[in-house]
């Protein structure tokens, strides 16, 4: 058997985005003195993950006509009444506490109004200007300050450690620990822990156009699936409407031109220079992301021009100097790719950006498996069928902190470390080693094939036959991947091996996305079926639940629980339900 290094800790955190770093800080505060806290990350702390890439900002109700209740109702309406309402409420309520913590304790500094108050800008789908930001580079500000705080504290750091398997106890009732590959050496390391928080992020990079970096490959959800945990809303892939389209030769293609452009008055134009979004929604360019993505995609299909794939965003009418001042980061990024954002037009395309689906958790981040907690994009429920721009980084930091607090409290009631199921541990090692015993092939070609299939068959607009076709292609790609090998003569920083492991995760989750899409025979939020275009009755809303047993994934449905507000109602700042005429 392959040698496995063994290591013990008390609290293990997977991922160093906003969720992981906040979990580490809060766990140190809430756990008993002497508790060992370990942070494991696929890359380098503060230098990888999706929080760092956040441009737009952080949604929080800070008064001035806004309220937690109003933020909550925007989140529920934006999610088309599919969110877990207890999670959505905690997100909106605790965001107020967390933004003060970010400024007063973590050291973040956000943009100000002339009177010194925090500036909040407009984002689509929201009834108040509530998005706090640092120019258009908000994520770098947040992650840099969090990184400084964590690096200054007694947290054990396992950098360049790739998590490849959640390992339960022999009876399967609890989590014993996590299996890693130390990417620097290629050796396996099993880490036991009393509590584990998974915050590995989503990363729908199985699509031709996508915003996350290529190493974000749904590893966390793939691991959860293999140990039998239920996943919800897996059909809900958010496409950001305005991904930069700069050609196949550059990785800049797919990167986001943030929501604040449209919030500030940016216009979307077709090939004839005409605005078109009011043909699709009364809010025009300020409609929610799902609506704008479908509008752009529909115009792309009308044009059917291989030389001019996308549509265009135009900002020049707002004044080029004004645009350069407000959106300096994006102006430079576009200039690097040959576009003049401030005074000209920039070609854009819907780009796979965020994953609303994830592991089923409660509002305290606990899962069905004792010892495992999930926060950030790995957790399903808070956003329902559509995430509002600005709710993502708020979700990660709020629930990362919650997870740290809850783990610190729970660990006080736990006894000794749990022993793993050695058969599961061996099976995960064998799974990872499979390509090392086969003839090397072209893993990247398979990834491109998967990306084309998911974009064409399980993308912005879907049909039953299309998704069935997609499932057939995914099965063919998986079969080819399992027979594709990599050179295993040197496993230290063997990036082709990790490309293979990335593809294994992507194919697993692509299958679940397609099957969940087939199971939802209506159109809600990010999931739009041309053969079932109606949303269905809000009062009988359901969410999909995917589970894997053996090698088979089955998808069922569960009713949404309207624990705070029902369709047709809203809540006022006093918290009392009131009928809202025309609520949608």
* Residues in Cβ contact with 529 at an 8 Å cutoff, skipping those fewer than 6 apart: 461, 462, 463, 464, 517, 520, 521, 522, 523
In the three-class reduction of DSSP (H, G, I as helix; E, B as strand; rest coil), residue 331 is classed as: helix
Q: How far is Cα of residue 125 from the mean position of the Cα atoms in its chain?
A: 19
What does the angle CA 7 – CA 11 – CA 15 come to, to the nearest 5 degrees?
90
- Note whether 60 and 394 are within 8 A (CB): yes
Catalytic residue among 262, 294, 498, 520: 262
CA–CA dist 271, 18 (Å, integer): 39
* The residue to which tokens 């396992």 are assigned: 158
In Å, what is the CA distance from 62 to each residue of 57, 90, 99, 468, 571? 14, 15, 10, 46, 17
262 part of the active site: yes
- Note whether 404 and 25 are within 8 A (CB): yes
Parallel, antiparallel, or unpaired: how do β-strands 58-59 and 131-132 relate? antiparallel
Tokens of 575: 């918290």
Catalytic residue among 98, 145, 240, 353: 240
CA–CA dist 42, 210 (Å, integer): 20
CA–CA dist 541, 564 (Å, integer): 15
In the three-class reduction of DSSP (H, G, I as helix; E, B as strand; rest coil), residue 90 is classed as: helix
| DSSP 8-state class, residue 370 | B
- Note whether 358 and 374 are within 8 A (CB): yes
Q: How far is Cα of residue 58 from the mean position of the Cα atoms in its chain?
A: 15
498 part of the active site: no
Residues noted as catalytic: 240, 262
């Amino acid at each position: 058997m392959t040698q496995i290094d063994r290591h013990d800790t008390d609290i293990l955190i997977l991922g160093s985005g906003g969720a992981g770093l906040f979990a580490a800080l809060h766990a140190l505060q809430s756990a008993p003195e002497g508790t060992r806290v370990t942070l494991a990350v696929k890359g380098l702390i503060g230098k990888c993950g999706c929080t760092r890439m956040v441009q737009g900002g952080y949604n929080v109700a800070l008064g001035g006509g806004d309220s937690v209740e109003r933020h909550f109702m925007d989140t529920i309406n934006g999610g088309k009444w599919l969110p877990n309402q207890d999670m959505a409420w905690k997100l909106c309520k605790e965001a107020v506490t967390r933004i003060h913590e970010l400024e007063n304790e973590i050291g973040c500094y956000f943009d100000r109004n002339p009177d010194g108050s925090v500036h909040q800008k407009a984002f689509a789908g929201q009834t108040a200007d509530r998005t706090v930001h640092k120019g258009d580079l908000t994520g770098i500000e947040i992650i840099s300050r969090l990184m400084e705080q964590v690096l200054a504290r007694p947290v054990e750091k396992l950098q360049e450690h790739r998590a490849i398997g959640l390992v339960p106890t022999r009876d399967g009732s609890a989590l014993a620990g996590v299996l890693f590959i130390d990417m620097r050496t290629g050796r396996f390391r099993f880490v036991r822990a009393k509590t584990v928080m998974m915050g590995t992020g989503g990363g729908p990079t199985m699509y031709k156009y996508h915003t996350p970096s290529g190493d974000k490959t749904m590893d966390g959800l793939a691991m959860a699936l293999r140990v039998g945990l239920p996943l919800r809303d897996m059909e809900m892939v958010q496409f950001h409407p305005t991904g930069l389209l700069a050609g196949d030769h550059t990785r800049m293609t797919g990167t986001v031109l943030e929501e604040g452009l449209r919030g500030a008055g940016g216009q979307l134009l077709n090939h004839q220079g005409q605005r078109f979004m009011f043909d699709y929604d009364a809010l025009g360019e300020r409609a929610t992301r799902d609506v704008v993505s479908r509008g752009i995609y529909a115009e792309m299909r009308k044009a059917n021009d291989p030389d001019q794939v996308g549509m265009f965003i135009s900002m020049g009418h707002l004044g080029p100097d004004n645009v350069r001042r407000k959106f300096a980061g994006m102006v430079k990024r576009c200039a690097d790719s040959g576009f003049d954002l401030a005074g000209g037009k920039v070609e854009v395309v819907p780009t796979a950006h965020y994953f609303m689906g994830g592991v089923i958790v409660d509002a305290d981040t606990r899962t069905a498996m004792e010892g495992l907690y999930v926060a950030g994009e790995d957790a399903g429920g808070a956003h329902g069928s559509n995430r509002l721009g600005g709710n993502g980084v708020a979700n990660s930091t709020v629930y990362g902190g919650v997870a740290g607090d809850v783990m610190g409290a729970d660990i006080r009631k736990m006894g000794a470390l749990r022993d793993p199921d050695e058969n599961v541990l061996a099976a995960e090692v064998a799974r990872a080693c499979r390509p090392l015993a086969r003839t090397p092939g072209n893993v990247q070609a398979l990834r491109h094939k998967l990306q084309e299939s998911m974009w064409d068959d399980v993308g912005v607009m879907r049909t039953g036959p299309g998704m069935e076709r997609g499932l057939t292609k995914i099965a063919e790609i998986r079969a080819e991947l399992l027979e594709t090998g990599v050179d295993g003569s040197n496993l230290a920083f063997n990036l082709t091996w990790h490309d293979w492991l990335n593809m294994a995760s992507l194919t697993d989750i692509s299958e679940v996305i397609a099957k969940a899409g087939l199971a939802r025979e209506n159109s809600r939020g990010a999931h739009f079926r041309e053969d079932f275009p109606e949303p269905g009755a809000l009062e009988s809303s359901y969410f999909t639940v995917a589970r894997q047993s053996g090698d088979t994934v089955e998808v069922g449905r569960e009713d949404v629980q309207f624990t705070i507000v029902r369709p047709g109602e809203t809540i006022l700042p006093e918290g009392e339900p009131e009928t809202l005429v025309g609520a949608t």
